[in-house]
Amino acid sequence: MNDDTLEMFATNYTEAWNSQDAASVAAFFAEDGSLSVNGSPAVGRQAITEVAQGFMSAFPDMELFMDALEIKSGQVTYHWTFVGTNTGPGGTGHAVRFSGYEEWTFGEDELIAISMGHFDAEDYQHQLEHGFDHGHP
Residue 119 scores a pLDDT above 60: yes
Stretch 61-78: mean pLDDT, rounded? Answer: 94
Residue 98 scores a pLDDT above 80: yes
**Given this model, what pLDDT does residue 134 score?**
63
Rounded CA gap, 56 and 19, in Å?
Answer: 9
Q: Considering the chain, what is the average pLDDT of its residues?
A: 94
pTM above 0.85, yes or no: yes
Q: Which of 99, 87, 91 is nearest to 124 (CA)?
A: 99
CATH topology of domain 3-130: Nuclear Transport Factor 2; Chain: A, (3.10.450)
Rounded CA gap, 75 and 105, in Å?
Answer: 7
Residue 137 scores a pLDDT above 80: no
Give, in order, the Cα–Cα distances in Å from 119 to each of 3, 27, 96: 25, 23, 13
Q: Which of 133, 54, 40, 42 is nearest to 86 (CA)?
A: 54
User: In sequence order, which residues have a C-beta less than 8 Å from that of residue 37 and are 6 or more positions away?
Assistant: 51, 117, 119
Domain parsing of the chain, residue ranges: 3-130
Residue 130 scores a pLDDT above 60: yes
Residue 66 scores a pLDDT above 80: yes
**Given this model, what pLDDT does residue 39 score?**
86
**Dihedral angle of Cα 26, 78, 64, 21, to the nearest 10 degrees:** -10
